[in-house]
Amino acid sequence: MAGTIAIKNGYVFDPLNEINGEIMDIFVRDGKVVRELSAAELKDAKVIDASGMTVMPGGVDSHSHVAGAKVNAGRSMRPEDHYKATLQKTSLTHSGSGYTVPSVYKQGYDYAAMGYTTVFEAAIPPLEARHTHEEMRATPLLDMGGYLILGNNFFLMRYLRDGDIEKAAAYVAWMMKTHKSYGIKCVNPAGVENWGWGKNVHSLDEANIHFEITPRETIKGLSEVNELLGMPVPLHLHANNLGHPGCYEITKDSLQILDGIKPRQNMDVEWAETKMDPARDRSVYLAHMMFNSFAGTTWGDCESGVKDIAGYINNKDHVVIDSGCTPFGEATVMTGDGPAIQDMYKLTGNKWSNTDVEMEGGSGVIPFTYLKSNPVHSLQWAMGLECLLLINDPWKTIMTTDSPNGGPFTKYPEVMTWIMSEAFRKQTFSECHKWANDRSALGGINRELSLYDLAILTRANPARTIGMAHRKGSLGVGADGDITVYDINPQQLDSNNYEALLRAFRKAEYTVKGGEIVAVKGEIVSLPEKRTYYSEVHVEGEKEKEMLADVKEWFRYYTLGFANYPTPEKYLANPTPIQVNGER
C-alpha cells in the first residue's frame, strides 16, 4: 500500500512530543503518522528495520533560496558553478547540474538525499511569484512554500505611513492569496526603496525618500499587520545595514521594536498530536543572524557582535533566529537587498547583477568564495556557529546557511557536525585564519548539541516557527509521514569521531516522504507527489474593496495589467491553502 510504512526499533528523536532517543516503532498509513497498523495493514506495509539507528521527523528548512528570478539569475550568470557539478539522469530521475545553485531537479534530489522533505523559499518578489511557483512546482520531492517580500512595497509604505493598519492588512491578505504565498518577509525595511535613488537608510529613524517612512515604522507596522491577521509565520526580518561592520546594534534595536508584541497565530488547520504546544510563540523571526551581527567599525577592526545579540535573545522570549552559517567554499549571494550586493561588488570586484522590482523591492546576485585563509571569512564561520551555540534555548534557533548565501544547503552536514562536535571545531580552527578565534567567543565554547537539540534546530523548531507544526516537524499522530533515518547509533555516539557524523548526515540511510521511501543512502528511489502551501487570509469584504480601489488606481505605474498580476493555482503543485484569520 502506497504511503504505508513501519519504521521499527529506531532511537526516535521527536522534540515536539518530548521523545528523546526512546526505542520506538513509527507507523504511517496513507501518508500520515498513526498510532499503529492492523495486522492486515502490516502485512502489506513496507518495514524498515532501524535498529541501532536514529529516527527523526523529515528535515524542515525554513529559510533557503531555491526558486524564482534571483535564483535563476544565479544559475544563468554562473556557468562555472555547473560544469563540474553534474548529475546524470536515470530511468527515474532527471539530469541536473550546479553546485551552489543547482537546477530545480538536482536541488530536490540533493535535499531529499540528506533527509530533508520540506523547504521554504525565503524571498518572493510579488511580480516574480509566477516564476517562483513554476520552479517550486518543478522541484521534486519537497513540500514547499515561500515568503512574500513586502518591506519596501509602495502600497504598504503608503498605508503604514498614514497609520492605516486595516487597509495594510487587507492588502497583505489579498497579496498572499493573489500570489499564493505564505508569510511576510521584510528585507532592509525602507532602505531598498532608497536604493532606487542610489541611496540607503542607515538608522532606524531615518525616513526614506518620497514615502517618508522609517525602518522602525515599517517593522512595527508589518508586525502589527502580521499579528492582526494571525499569520502562520512571525514577521521574517532581514534587518537594515546587513553585512556591515557595526551592524549588530541596529539588529538588536530592530528586535527591541517588537518586544511586547503578542504572537497571535490564527490558523484553521488540523493539528497533529504533540505534547508541546505547537503554536508559534515568537513575534519576530530574524533571518540569517550571522550577517546581521558584525561589531567594529571597518573590516580591519571588525569582530563578532553575536554575543551581544545572543545575550539579548537569551533574556527575551519574542525572538527566533536562523543562523546563516558560512561553512567555507563557494557560495552565491542573492538577496532582495540590492545595495548590499553592490557593497559586496565593491569589496570583491566579482561579476554582479541588480534588479529594481518596480513598485515592490529590489534584488541582486553576486558569486562569493569564503576562504579559510581570509580573516573576515574565518570570523564569519565562527560567528555563524556562535549564533547557534551562544543562544541557550534551542527553541530560539534554527540551523541554516541562508543557502546559497553562506554556502549551499549541501554543506548542512558540516554545520550540523560543527555544532555537535568541539573536536571538529578545533580541527577547523587549526585550518583557518586566527581571527576566527581571536575575534569571536567560539573558541571558549565547549557546548556540544545533542541529537535531540539537533532535531529541534533542523525539524521541530523551523516547523513550529513557520506555523507548519500542525503537520511537519513531529512524528505525532496525524503528522505527515516525513521521516529521516540516520545511520547514527546514539548509544555509541562519539562527538570526537566527526567523520562518522559527517558521513551519516550527508546521506541519510532512509528518507521517507508521506510514508514512501524516497531515498536510500542518498540514492533517489521514488518520486511521490509534493505539495505547495500558501496562506488564504480572510479579511472583511468592505475593507478589501476600499483597498483594491487604491491598488487599481496606482496599478498604472506597473508594467503589466491588473488582470495579469495574480498567480493562478495551476502554477502550484498540489496547492494546499491554509485558512488564516477565519472563514470568510
Partner 1 sequence: MTEGVLIHKKADAGEIAGEIKEVTLIPKKEIDIKLEADVITPDSFAGKSAEEIGMLSIWQGPKTYPLSDFFEVIGNGGSSADETQIRIKGDATRVKRIGEGMSAGKIEIEGSAGMHVGTGMKGGEIVVYGDVDSWAGMEMLGGLLHIKGNAGDHVGCAYRGKWHGMKGGRIMIEGSARHQLGGGMDGGEILVEGKVESFCGIRQNGGLIVVNGGALRGVGAEMAGGTIVIGGKIERFAPGFEFVSMENKVTSGEVELIGEFKKFTGDYAISKRAKGALYVSADANPEL
**Interacting residues with partner 1 (CB under 8 A):** 77-81, 83, 349, 351
CB-nearer residue toward partner 1: 79 or 163: 79
Shortest distance, position 368 Cβ to partner 1, whole Å: 13
CB-nearer residue toward partner 1: 256 or 369: 369
- Alpha carbon separation from 168 to 76, 172, 177, 312 (Å, rounded): 36, 6, 14, 30
d(CA 568, CA 178): 8
Shortest distance, position 364 Cβ to partner 1, whole Å: 17
Shortest distance, position 83 Cβ to partner 1, whole Å: 6
Helices (H), 476-523: 498-506
Shortest distance, position 105 Cβ to partner 1, whole Å: 17
Residues 101, 127 contacting (CB under 8 angstroms): no
Shortest distance, position 374 Cβ to partner 1, whole Å: 16
Shortest distance, position 92 Cβ to partner 1, whole Å: 18
CB-nearer residue toward partner 1: 77 or 520: 77
Neighbours of 354 (CB within 10 A): 16
φ/ψ of 523, rounded to 5, equals -100, 130
Residues 463, 118 contacting (CB under 8 angstroms): yes
Helices (H), 349-487: 375-390, 412-420, 422-431, 435-438, 451-455, 461-465
Q: Which residues face 97 on adjacent strands?
A: 86
CB-nearer residue toward partner 1: 77 or 269: 77
CB-nearer residue toward partner 1: 71 or 457: 71
Shortest distance, position 84 Cβ to partner 1, whole Å: 9
CA atoms within 13 A on the CB side of 30: 1
Shortest distance, position 324 Cβ to partner 1, whole Å: 25
DSSP 45: S
Shortest distance, position 80 Cβ to partner 1, whole Å: 4
d(CA 292, CA 218): 18
- Helices 129-138, 104-113: axis angle to 10 degrees equals 60
Shortest distance, position 93 Cβ to partner 1, whole Å: 16
d(CA 438, CA 306): 14
Q: Which residues face 235 on adjacent strands?
A: 284
Shortest distance, position 81 Cβ to partner 1, whole Å: 8
CB-nearer residue toward partner 1: 260 or 349: 349
527: CB partners within 8 A, 6+ apart:
92, 93, 140, 141, 518
CB-nearer residue toward partner 1: 95 or 297: 95
Residues 464, 278 contacting (CB under 8 angstroms): yes
Shortest distance, position 24 Cβ to partner 1, whole Å: 47
CB-nearer residue toward partner 1: 272 or 366: 366
Q: DSSP string covering 226-258, please?
A: HHHHT-SSPEEEE-TTTTSTTTHHHHHHHHHHT
User: Radius of gyration over alpha carbons of the chain, in Å?
Assistant: 22
Shortest distance, position 150 Cβ to partner 1, whole Å: 33
CB-nearer residue toward partner 1: 174 or 368: 368
549, with CB counted inside 10 A (0-12, 13-18, 19+), is exposed
Q: Which of 254, 268, 97, 273 is nearest to 190 (CA)?
A: 254
CB-nearer residue toward partner 1: 80 or 212: 80
CB-nearer residue toward partner 1: 198 or 349: 349
CB-nearer residue toward partner 1: 81 or 227: 81
CB-nearer residue toward partner 1: 83 or 554: 83
φ/ψ of 308, rounded to 5, equals -65, -50
> Is the sign of the CA dihedral 340, 342, 346, 348 positive or negative?
positive
The full length of the chain comes to 584
d(CA 162, CA 223): 16
Instruction: Compute CA 341 distance to the chain's CA centroid, rounded to the nearest angstrom.
Output: 20
